[in-house]
C-alpha cells in the first residue's frame, strides 16, 4: 500500500531521470514515468534515443545517471539495491545471440547468474505476467528454439 490512504503503490515510479556518457552531453533529461502492476509496456524509439541507456540506468549497469525519485512498490530505492535488483531481469542481446535457447533455458541461465534458487514457477509467472497464456508460447518462425508470440492475424495483402 502507498503512504497515502489505501491506494496500492505503483509498481515503479521514475521521476527526473537524467543520463549521460559525457556530463556536458546528456542522453536523457528529466524523464519521468509510472508503471502499474501487470501493465505491459513497449519501449520504442529511434536508434540513439536513449532506450538502452534508460534500461541500463535502472539496472545499475550504466553509472552516468541521476534520479530525483526512484520507487519500487512505493518504497524509495537506488538502482543498486539488492532487493530491487532481485526483482528485475534485463537482457540486451541481438536476436541471433541465443538461437537455440528457449525461455526455460534463459530463465535457468538467469537463475544461475543471479545465484537464485531454481524455481520452475518463475517461468509460469513470467508467462502469465506477459500474458502469453492467451496464445501460449510457440516457436518463433525466425528462431525455432526461441519461444515467442506469433501474430494472430496476417497483414492485409496489397
* pLDDT, one tens digit for every residue, the chain (158 residues): 445 556 678 999 999 999 999 999 999 999 999 999 888 788 888 888 999 999 999 999 898 999 999 999 999 999 999 888 888 877 776 666 667 777 778 778 878 877 888 888 877 777 776 665 454 444 444 434 444 433 344 444 44
Q: Which sign, positive or negative, has the C-alpha torsion 91, 83, 63, 49?
A: positive
Neighbours of 127 (CB within 10 A): 15
- Residue 113 is predicted with a pLDDT of 79
Amino acid at each position: 500500500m502507498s503512504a497515502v490512504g489505501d491506494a496500492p503503490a505503483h509498481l515503479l515510479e521514475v521521476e527526473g531521470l537524467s543520463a549521460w556518457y559525457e556530463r556536458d552531453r546528456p542522453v536523457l533529461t528529466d524523464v519521468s514515468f509510472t508503471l502499474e502492476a501487470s501493465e505491459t509496456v513497449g519501449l520504442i524509439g529511434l536508434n540513439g534515443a536513449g532506450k538502452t541507456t534508460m534500461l541500463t540506468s535502472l539496472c545499475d549497469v550504466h553509472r552516468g545517471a541521476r534520479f530525483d525519485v526512484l520507487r519500487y512498490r512505493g518504497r524509495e530505492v537506488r538502482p543498486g539495491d539488492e532487493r530491487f535488483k532481485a526483482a528485475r531481469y534485463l537482457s540486451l542481446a541481438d536476436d541471433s545471440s541465443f538461437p537455440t535457447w528457449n525461455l526455460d533455458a534463459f530463465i535457468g541461465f538467469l537463475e544461475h547468474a543471479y545465484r537464485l534458487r531454481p524455481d520452475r514457477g518463475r517461468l509460469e509467472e513470467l508467462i502469465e505476467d506477459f500474458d502469453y497464456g492467451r496464445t501460449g508460447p510457440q516457436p518463433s518462425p525466425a528462431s525455432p528454439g526461441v519461444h515467442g508470440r506469433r501474430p494472430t492475424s496476417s497483414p492485409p495483402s496489397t
